Amino acid sequence: MRLGLAAAAVALLAGLTTACAHDDGSTGTPQKAAATPSGYAEMQQKVSAAESALARADKDAAQDH
């Protein structure tokens, strides 16, 4: 009984592994890189500007003390 149950479990696992495998055989990696979202460059510029403004504010605050 246990041998039959173990064989069934192995067969099920093998079937799931085969059915879930990618075409190229790799696992856990995307097949192609995601495209850069629209407006990404503008967003990077805004983040950079905000970081610069924060650095200036920190410098000004440090000089006041």
Domain count along the chain:
1
Does some domain include residue 31? no
Print the domain residue range for 46. 40-65
Does some domain include residue 64? yes
Does some domain include residue 2? no
Q: What distance in Å separates the CA atoms of residue 23 and residue 53, rounded to the nearest whole number?
A: 48
pLDDT single digits (tens) 1-39: 566 767 777 776 677 666 655 555 555 665 666 788 899
Q: What distance in Å separates the CA atoms of residue 32 and residue 23, rounded to the nearest whole number?
A: 13
Helices (H) and strands (E) in the chain, counts: 2, 0
Q: Residue 39 phi/psi, 5° resolution?
A: 85, 10
Q: What distance in Å separates the CA atoms of residue 53 and residue 47, rounded to the nearest whole number?
A: 10
Tell me, yes or no, if the pTM score tops 0.75: no
Specify the pLDDT at position 4: 72
